[in-house]
Chains A and B, each alone.
Chain A
Amino acid sequence: MATPIIECIDLHKSFADHEVLKGINLKILTNEVVVIIGPSGSGKSTLLRCMNLLNEPTAGKVLFEGYDTSAKDIDINAVRSRMNMVFQNFNLFMHLTALENITLALQKVKKVPKKEAIVLATEALNRVGLTDKENAFPGQLSGGQQQRVAIARCVAMQPDAILFDEPTSALDPELIGEVLDVIKHLAETTGMTMVVVTHEMGFAREVADRVVVMDDGLIIEEGPPNEIFVNPKNERTRIFLRRVLKEIDDMDPLKPKYEGVTLEPEAPSVTFGEPQMMKDENPPSDQGPSGTLGRWFGFRGGRKKK
């Protein structure tokens, strides 16, 4: 068996008196793609952030290549430079161009000379399909492009592992695909170790070597994707998957919308000639941030820049 690159041992994390992680034991092997799924608030992101010590564990420890990351004589910056993170909100450096976003850490952390850093950064941008966006600032890029730059920023560091913290959760639906494709391509071509927290079940199923299911601060089940998605053993996994997959099913544009609601027996019966009928004439798509209402309030075309 391969050696674990990241190992969490009885990891606990509390915020004030709220215990988010209640004893996590998890080994991530070299070159493995592990996808962590589970309901909101189950501690997935916290677990990821504990791995690179952005959040300090309350108890237990994280080993990186066998070394205790919380040990006094460990240089946490050196560990982080080899275990990068991709964030839900991209967190690109807003005052730097796409290229400079990538070269900054190369120069400051890995002490790569400027010229070489630019070459590495250009290569990394090529890999995520953003060759022509070198000089664009994050504010000039779409969410999907920003996240791809963020991924390139990690890739250029040539880390041993990348942690993805819900990389597509902040994206407009039509932009999710391009980011998932980049991650998938990375997994297939580099064999880089990846830990991905996501709600994209299709992606998990396709890319993961192993799926870890978390609920309420604990790992309740783990195994190969086919096992987890086809034949989950844990009842809570089954409930979670049923709920998530139903949501995905509901999103199918070909499926008639809200038919269940109108057929509800307790729905008010419509009397003749009542103007009340008008209520249902608004198509459901007019609701939500990307519909007409959203357009009136200016939500369309990516989120508003601060």
Chain B
Amino acid sequence: MVEMDWSIIPEYFDAFMRGLTLTVEIAVISIILGFIGGILIGMLRISKNPFVSGLSSIYVEAFRGTPLLIQIFLVYLGLPQLGIEVESALVAGLIALSANSAAYQAEIFRGGVQSIPKGQMEAARSLGMTHNQSMANVVIPQALRNALPAYTNEFITMIKDSSLVMTIGVLELTLTGKLISAETAQPFVVLIFVAILYFILTFSTSRVLRYVEKRFAIPGMMGSE
């Protein structure tokens, strides 16, 4: 048994922090792009036009039904073969993660919208509001509230799944940890520390979103105080 050497953590602290920063950046960007994409695709998914809803349904099934790792490789290695140059491994990773998350978030959004009783839309329309006004002012604000727990899940998953881009050489937290552990021969110490850093990220995300949930809970409805 090799002795644990915890001193490597302060020694490599800057490198860990650089990896952590990149992980946060990757997660935040792909969560935001996935959120916007998810709303767009989710809106198409509930469209009455069968062609439009069919297309978005194919998108969702394709990204949900294949491994994220394959999607990352396809964007990084596959697209250039089709003549589409991807600027860097980081960009390729961001594209794959965002596109994948958009598929999941589209389903979360759709579930949220469909959880709102039909009467809400009818009441808005019966007052003369257009379909879009009714969606924007009545249905979506309630749908997002209902969907918050599912969004929390997805955001946390994204933070963890961002580690997959290490496979195409993006020097984020996991790859940083792997390199340091190889260099120092202290895999346990390094990986435990990496795991703790991920946990801090995911746990604070879940706390923040729990606060948002409470903050926007509708008084008099389930989930409010």
Contact = CB atoms under 8 A, between A and B. Distances in A.
Interface of A: 52, 54, 77-82, 84-85, 87, 89, 91-95, 104-105, 108-109, 136-141, 150, 153-154, 157, 305-306
B219 A140 contact: yes
Interface string B210-222: 0000000011111
B220 A105 contact: no
B119 A139 contact: no
Given A54-B122, A91-B120, A95-B141, A78 B221 contact: no
Nearest to B118: A91
Contacts of A136: 220
Nearest to A79: B128
Interface string B191-225: 00000000000000000000000000011111010
Secondary structure call for the B interface: helix
Contacts of B220: 136-141, 305
Nearest to A153: B127
A305 B129 contact: no
A141 B219 CA distance: 10
A93 B119 CA distance: 9
Chain B, interface size category, equals: 20 to 34
Closest 10 CB pairs of A and B: A139-B220, A81-B128, A91-B123, A140-B220, A105-B127, A91-B119, A85-B126, A109-B128, A137-B219, A80-B128
Contact of B120 (A80, A93, A137, A140): A93
B125 interface: yes
A84 B123 CA distance: 9
B163 interface: no
A93 B124 contact: yes
A87 B218 contact: no
A289 to B, nearest CB: 20
B129 A109 contact: yes
B221 to A, nearest CB: 5
